[in-house]
Homo-oligomer: A and B are copies of this chain.
Amino acid sequence: MKLSIEIIGFIAAILTTSAFIPQVYKTRKTRSVENLSLSMYLVMLTGVILWLIYGIYIESYSIIVANLFTACLIVLLLNYKIRFSRQ
């Protein structure tokens, strides 16, 4: 794949993945998880894993990197949702 195209993909990957970080940070700090929808994040995680498989098939590093990071952030949010809901 052309380098210039992958650069666009990587910038997009950084922007859309980093948009998750404030939510993870806020949830960790406030421990308030009522607003977090478990089903929404499970749907999103499934979608992100499929994008990961898609990226591997079409050999797009930006899609792979973006969805790998996003999957980790969502798993972190799901972990907080389960842990902080019990308290």
Contact = CB atoms under 8 A, between A and B. Distances in A.
A29 B11 CA distance: 34
A15 B37 contact: no
B8 A50 contact: yes
Given A37-B22, A58-B58, A51 B16 contact: yes
Interface of A: 1-2, 5, 8-9, 11-19, 22-23, 35, 37, 40-41, 43-44, 46-48, 50-51, 53-54, 57-58, 60, 62-63
A15 B54 contact: no
A12 B44 CA distance: 9
Given A16-B48, A18-B43, 18 more contacts: A5-B54, A8-B53, A8-B57, A9-B50, A9-B54, A11-B47, A11-B50, A12-B53, A12-B54, A13-B47, A15-B43, A15-B47, A15-B50, A19-B41, A19-B43, A23-B40, A35-B35, A63-B63
